[in-house]
């Protein structure tokens, strides 16, 4: 089969690879109908996630048709059209039983962090879904059958960014009348802005530095936008215009934020896990007693982390990998009812064969690219 593979830093290639095979009785094989590139995939190709072997198949936003199942699979059957959530979860450990699916204790043989499809050997070594076929472990736990009347584009993002953005707003405890700052206007940031409005936020301020992404955020009702290049201190500016800071700041940027020269050097030397610019902005933009919700992916340890700034102002920090399984049914129901639509963020529809080009325009912010959806040939 064809698949998009990691070949080194900023080097991906569409290659012919072996078809996946069923190894365990609860495995299944999905014939991929749609897949997408996630912002966190860029951390992989930038060399910010360890244990990425050459030839590793990328991708954790995938859906398709069940092609084959192991003899113990009862939840789905051949021919079902399914969404595959990005965390790999066993379904019966303490964490899965307490809805912390992304922290499954049994799915990652390589460490204590939860396993993720297509996300390096550090996160379990499971080949990803930017391919013609995907092997899905624990098939009785994760996959969700989707209604035939809904298009792939309507439901594909249930695999990751729809649950992640919803969860970021929920764990931030956004409520009616709140002022919410969303750092980042990439796919997750844009959906987070929508969810904040859905939850009743009175004022939503979107922060980014890429003009076309800010322009897209401006199309949403009542979203104010701010280019952080327009100020020497964006956090202090937000504190001023909100009269003391936002009730909730949601960081959708993570370690790929704009780096200082020192951060670039330290990250290259593996002394720092990437940028902490969004974290520092959060310390100033949130009000005393407010909440910072971090859904952007962070890596290793950070030098000069502003812990004291959070502590001194009684800030609640919440963060981590979204337990996507919990949120898929409720969001799917909203999509079916026409209450929520995420398709406006799709700017490019390409074939899997164009995977190298897709990564280039997404990574380098070319051609006004916000979100790429790919179809295997």
* Domain identity same for 279 and 350: no
pLDDT score recorded for residue 276: 67
139 and 217 fall within a common domain: no
Read off the CATH number of the domain in which 153 is found.
3.90.180.10
Residues 370 and 337 occupy one common structural domain = yes
Regarding whether 150 and 171 lie in a shared domain, the answer is: no
What gap in Å lies between CA 205 and CA 207, rounded to an integer?
A: 7
Q: How far apart are CA 150 and CA 336, in angstroms?
A: 7
pLDDT at residue 261, rounded to an integer: 47
3-state SS class at 70: coil
Per-residue pLDDT of the chain (377 residues; tens, 9 = 90+): 999 999 999 999 999 999 999 999 999 999 999 999 999 999 999 988 889 999 999 999 999 999 999 999 999 999 999 999 999 999 999 999 999 999 999 999 988 899 999 999 999 999 999 999 999 999 999 999 999 999 999 999 999 999 999 999 999 999 999 999 999 999 999 999 999 999 999 999 999 999 999 999 999 978 999 999 998 899 999 999 999 999 999 999 987 756 554 455 455 545 555 566 889 899 999 999 999 999 988 876 777 788 899 999 999 999 999 999 999 999 999 999 999 999 999 999 999 999 999 999 999 999 999 999 999 97
Say if CB 196 and CB 250 are below 8 A apart.
yes
pLDDT of residue 354: 98
Domain hosting residue 274, numbered range: 162-319
Tell me: do 26 and 79 sit in the same domain.
yes
Say what the pLDDT of residue 268 is.
Answer: 55
**Among residues 319, 345, 366, which one ends one of the domains?**
319
- Domain final residue, candidates 319, 338, 356: 319
Shared domain check, 247 and 156: no
Asked whether residue 24 falls in the same domain as residue 123, the answer is yes
Locate tokens 């910010």: which residue?
48
* 204 CB-contact burial (10 Å; exposed 0-12 / middle 13-18 / buried 19+): buried
The CATH number assigned to the domain holding 208 equals: 3.40.50.720
* 178 and 313 inside one domain: yes
Give dist(CA 103, CA 83) in Å, integer: 20
Phi/psi at 98 (5° precision): -115, 25
Mutual orientation of helices 328-336 and 161-171 as an angle, nearest 10°?
Answer: 110
Place of tokens 């340890």: 301
Structure tokens at 239: 């504190």
- Tokens for 189? 């940031």
Helix (H) or strand (E) holding 154: helix 152-155
Residue 152 to residues 3, 205, 254, 285, 335: CA-CA distances in angstroms? Answer: 19, 30, 28, 37, 12
Total number of domains in the chain = 2
Q: Are residues 276 and 327 in the same domain?
A: no
Hey, CA dihedral for 223, 188, 259, 219, is it positive or negative? negative
The whole-number pLDDT of residue 254 equals 81
Q: What is the pTM of this model?
A: 0.94
Q: 38 and 50 in one domain?
A: yes
The DSSP result for 159-220, as a single string, is GTHHHHHHHHHHHTT--TT-EEEEE--SHHHHHHHHHHHHTT-SEEEEEES-HHHHHHHHTS
| Residue 88: other Cβ atoms inside 10 A | 26
Q: Which residues contact 97 (CB under 8 A, 6 or more apart)?
A: none
Q: What pLDDT score was predicted for residue 262?
A: 47
Q: How many CB atoms lie within 10 A of CB 304?
A: 11
- 355 phi/psi in degrees, rounded to 5: -60, -40
């Amino acid at each position: 089969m064809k698949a998009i593979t990691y070949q080194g830093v900023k080097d991906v290639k569409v290659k012919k690879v072996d078809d996946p095979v069923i190894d365990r009785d609860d495995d299944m094989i999905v014939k991929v109908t749609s897949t997408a590139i996630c912002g966190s995939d860029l951390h992989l190709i930038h060399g910010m996630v360890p244990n990425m072997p050459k030839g590793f198949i990328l991708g954790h936003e995938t859906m398709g048709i069940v092609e084959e199942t192991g003899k113990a699979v009862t939840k789905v059957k051949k021919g079902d059209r399914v969404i595959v959530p990005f965390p790999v979860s066993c379904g019966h450990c303490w964490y899965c039983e307490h809805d912390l699916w992304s922290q499954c204790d049994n799915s990652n043989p390589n460490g204590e962090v939860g396993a993720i499809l297509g996300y390096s050997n550090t996160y379990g070594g499971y080949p990803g879904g930017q391919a013609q076929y995907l092997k899905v472990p624990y098939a009785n736990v994760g996959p969700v059958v989707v209604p035939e009347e809904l298009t792939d584009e309507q439901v594909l993002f249930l695999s990751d960014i729809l649950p992640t953005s919803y969860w970021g707003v929920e764990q931030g405890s956004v409520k009616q009348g709140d002022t919410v700052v969303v750092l980042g206007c990439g796919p997750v940031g844009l959906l987070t802005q929508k969810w904040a409005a859905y939850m009743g936020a009175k004022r939503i301020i979107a922060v980014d530095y890429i003009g076309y992404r800010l322009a897209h955020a401006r199309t949403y009702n009542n979203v104010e936008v701010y280019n952080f290049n327009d100020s020497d201190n964006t956090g202090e500016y937000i504190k001023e215009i909100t009269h003391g800071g936002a009730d909730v700041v949601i960081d959708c940027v993570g370690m790929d934020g704009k780096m200082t020269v020192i951060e670039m050097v330290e990250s290259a030397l593996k002394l720092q896990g990437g940028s902490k610019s969004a974290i520092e902005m959060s310390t100033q933009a949130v009000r005393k007693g407010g909440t910072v919700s971090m859904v952007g992916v962070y890596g290793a340890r950070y030098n000069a982390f502003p812990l004291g700034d959070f502590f001194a102002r009684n800030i609640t920090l919440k963060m981590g990998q979204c337990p996507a399984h919990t949120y898929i049914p409720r969001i799917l129901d909203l999509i079916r009812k026409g209450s929520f639509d995420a398709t406006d963020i799709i700017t490019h529809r390409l074939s899997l064969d164009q995977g190298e080009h897709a990564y280039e325009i997404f990574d380098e912010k070319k051609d006004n690219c916000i979100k790429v959806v790919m179809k295997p040939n």
